[in-house]
Amino acid sequence: MRGDEPGEEAIRSLREQVKRHDIRYIRLITVSLQGQPKAMLIPEYELEEALRYGKGFDGSSLGFIGIERSDLIAHPDPASFLIPMWEAPGVAVMFCYIHNPDGSPFEGDPRGLLKAAVEELERGGYGFYTGPEVEFFYVTEKNGSLSPLGSGGYFDLPPLDPTEEMKMETMMCLEAAGFQLDKAHHEAAPGQQEINFRFSDALKTADNIILYKLAVKTIAQRYGNQATFMPKPFWGINGNGCHLHQSLVDLETGRNLFHDPNSETGLAESALHYIGGLLSHAEALSLVVAPTVNSYKRLIPHHEAPVYICWDYGNRSSIVRIPRYPGNSRYTRIEYRHPDPSCNPYLASIAILRAGMDGIRRRIDPGEPISRNVYQIGDEELERMGIQRLPRHLGEAIEAFSSDKIISEALGECSKLLVKIKEREFEEYLSAVGGSWEENLKKITSWELERYLTRC
């Protein structure tokens, strides 16, 4: 039997909300290993039974498990109940945890794994807070040709950015869903946008990333357009990042453990060691935070995506950046610029946390910050400085992940399946393009667009 069944008070409260808002259907969301939301609709009169006993589904059809033991149970999380404005009237959504038929947590559930990782950290008195910058493109297709929607650049406004109405509706829907927005603006590339929302605990942030992407895509579709979080839909301009800002807090006092008021830089020693952990595991992290073939066409020099494994204050050419903004101690944080929006936010959070905590545990020295534009440093000098490069393609990322026990073991049973899926993905790409990685690096192939444009 499960040990985390919702209490009678939680069930009663949800019944009241459903009745008060005239909810007819509830969309129960699970998140696949590859970070894609999957869902079933249940009528409102089935909600109480779903809360008590869950709803069964075929785990093999979602790639979670083999067909020989494919029965899995989705248990709605009462804390995630939401009535989004981007859904049809009368529809609410809830995230689920996945269990085996015997009631035990399913070892391949990304959301459940993050919950367990956060709870383990909390038992030590620490909280893990994250805040993402998730970029996307509005795109349009005419005569079979895909192009960015609009010609704007960084911070441009109408008429160069023709998406203002669509973006504003998205912002209002997100706010109605409880998002606290920080800012929204046109990004550097034509058609590229960013709507930033406030940091929260890691599990809530991962849920919000899934909801954010659903809102952006659904509302774009209503306007007859398309939004994509594909890492690099167009060659020659910036790709989409999912920079993850993070901090550790003392749960008893609320103190930001990355801030030291007596330090010249404001960074605590624990933050430096955390950075050391991120840098030392960056190659292995790549498979989790940049998990697609297309991800590695974003990770090239000169387009504000990280390539070299180093850190600095305010330097957007480094993989780890410490934002330099005035403010109180709660804003001291580490920005990890490696991830892109195709990643599974639950698995990415687990892997990043494990890397950083390994740095704290082993007191890993991150080395000196690199204050230069790293893109402009030659290969020979980088080698002398001891600065390594991220994996150049998905195949190298698989090798790095497989050889790093800290990161691969952090994902438990997901690790083997993730490697298997990604090996097949890379093989399919090379077979489809009929050549080597290098020969096809400087173009976005039809194989990538077909596979990632709507899926990411």
**Which DSSP string do the residues of 192-250 spell out, in sequence order?**
EEEEEE--EEHHHHHHHHHHHHHHHHHHHHHTT-EEE--S-SSTTS----EEEEEEEEE
List Cα–Cα distances, 281 to 206, 263, 365, 438, in angstroms: 21, 26, 13, 25
Q: E strands within 323-407?
A: 334-336
Instruction: For residues 330 and 247, give the distance between their C-alpha atoms in angstroms, rounded to a whole number.
Output: 9
Active-site entry in 245, 333, 337, 393:
337
Q: Which candidate in 194, 207, 312, 340 is catalytic?
A: 194
Q: E strands of 270-343, at which residues?
A: 311-313, 320-322, 334-336
Query: For residue 212, what are its two tokens?
Result: 């954010």
Known catalytic membership, residue 243: yes
| Options 77, 87, 109, 133, the catalytic residue | 133
Annotated catalytic residue 337: yes
Q: Is 450 a catalytic residue?
A: no
> Which of 448, 433, 446 is closest to 145 using CA atoms?
446
Asked about 362 being catalytic, the answer comes back as no
**Secondary structure class of 356 (helix, strand, coil):** helix
Are 353 and 361 contacting, i.e. CB atoms less than 8 angstroms apart? no
Annotated catalytic residue within 161, 335, 358, 396: 335
Please answer whether residues 56 and 71 qualify as being in contact, where contact means their C-beta atoms are separated by less than 8 angstroms.
Answer: yes
Asked about 58 being catalytic, the answer comes back as yes
To the query of whether residue 335 is one of the catalytic residues in this protein, the response is yes
E strand segments, 267-318: 311-313
194 classed as catalytic: yes
Instruction: Report phi then psi at 448, rounded to 5.
Output: -65, -45
The active-site residue, picked from 187, 207, 312, 358, is: 187
Q: What is the dihedral of CA 238, 239, 242, 243, to 10 degrees?
A: -30
* Residue 31: strand pairing partners: 37
- Is 135 an active-site residue? yes
Catalytic residue, from 243, 245, 298, 338: name it: 243
> How many residues comprise the chain?
456
Q: Which of 22, 49, 58, 250 is catalytic?
A: 58
Residues 31/211, Cβ–Cβ less than 8 Å: no
User: Cβ distance 364 to 273 under 8 Å?
Assistant: yes
Respond yes or no: is residue 269 known to be catalytic: no
Gap between the Cα atoms of 318 and 313, Å rounded? 9
Instruction: Tell me the C-alpha distance between 408 and 402, whole Å.
Output: 6
The closest of 42, 106, 43 to 73, measured between CA atoms, is: 106
Catalytic-role residue among 24, 316, 389, 392: 316
Q: Which of 109, 135, 396, 404 does the annotation list as catalytic?
A: 135
Please identify every residue annotated as catalytic: 58, 133, 135, 187, 194, 243, 316, 335, 337
